[in-house]
Structure 1
Amino acid sequence: MRTFRDRVRHALMFEAVALAIFIPGSAAVFDQPVDHMGVIGIASATIATLWNFVFNVGFDRAMVLLRGSVAKTMAIRVAHTLLFEAGLVVMLIPMIAWYLGIGLWAALLMDVAIVIFYLVYGFLFNIAYDRLFPVAPAAMPRGA
């Protein structure tokens, strides 16, 4: 298992590297000023982080109330992911449209592209992170 300190390093590196790629890359792809995409990137990352915390606390409380447990089936995990992303879209699309002075449709398409970027980036980042900072065998749970 990873330590708390390692989890903090992971989260900070994840966001720092993502923004270092996202800001200039999205400025070029979306033909927007770098400073505007910097605001979008930092605001979106901040909103997503806060929403992640609030949503997961609320989801777990709802699970306990409705099912008596936080144990999740595959169907519940899919619902959890879709509800989280839907909530994030509802928060981000109007902010992106307003800040960049674009329509809601354009903001939605931009958000879809951002989600795709983060899916690919997250997958690749975590592979690289695990290779750069492997978990010591003694820290791994039995049977892993």
Structure 2
Amino acid sequence: MALSFDRDYSLEEVQAMLPGEVKPVWYWVNTYNEEGLNGQKNGERILFANQVYGMKGVNSDGTTEEDPRLSFISAINSGLKRKSRYQLQFRRLYERLSNDKGEITKENIRVIGVVVTGDTASMKLLRDKNYIKAATLGIVIDKY
């Protein structure tokens, strides 16, 4: 299930407010300026896949990522150094997240949504949470 929040939160706040039975697998990072974020909140803007940036919450082996901000920051810094067609995107991300202070810190990373997994009972725990602005159900499968 994909959840959009009512505002941006720190990673620690997101992890604390989600029920323990829900597994966050991807965090949507706030890479927008105030005007862009307000337009998104008011439904005035549709985002495409190449306009949304985030951090993985789990590794490829299914284990929880200890601090996803570290690999996210590292990926941006690496992308800045490589000559590729994405270099302009990396530059914009770097400038937005570093607040023009010369480096991105963990505190600069704010989360505006999350993709979570879990069973029906754990998803029901998210009902009526005041921090959730919108939710979208993805794929539903039976246990195998």
Is TM-score (shorter-chain normalized) higher than 0.5? no
TM-score, normalised on structure 2? 0.28
**Rg (Cα) greater in structure:** 1
More contact order relative to length (CA 8 Å, sep ≥ 6) = 2
Which structure is higher in helix share? 1
Which structure is higher in strand share? 2
TM-score, normalised on structure 1? 0.28
